[in-house]
Amino acid sequence: MRGLSRRDQWYVGSRLAALAMIAIYIASPPVQRLAGSALIGVSTLIGNEIEKSFARSMDEISKRPVKTLPAR
């Protein structure tokens, strides 16, 4: 989904999540447990990616030159 805008990525991701939740609801209990574990893993991976992205953004911000106000 790299070619999509953030808004489009959010839209596609939310639709995929909704479909996954419907499929899990319809599935048998053992499949539900397995899918629940998989969703926890996927959400952890997504959280890690968000954390890395945030850290990169903060790192870029910290490398910017500090603008000082002129003395009066």
Report whether pLDDT(1) > 70.
Answer: no
pLDDT digits (tens, 9 = 90+) for 18-62: 888 888 888 888 888 888 888 888 888 888 888 888 888 888 888
DSSP collapsed to 3 states, the chain: CCCCCHHHHHHHHHHHHHHHHHHHHHCCHHHHHHHHHHHHHHHHHHHHHHHHHHHHHHHHHHHCCCCCCCCC
For residue 7, pLDDT beyond 80: yes
Domain boundaries, the chain: 29-54
Whether the predicted model's global pTM rises above the 0.85 cut? no
pLDDT at 2 over 70: no
Q: What is the pLDDT of residue 39?
A: 83
pLDDT, position 10: 82
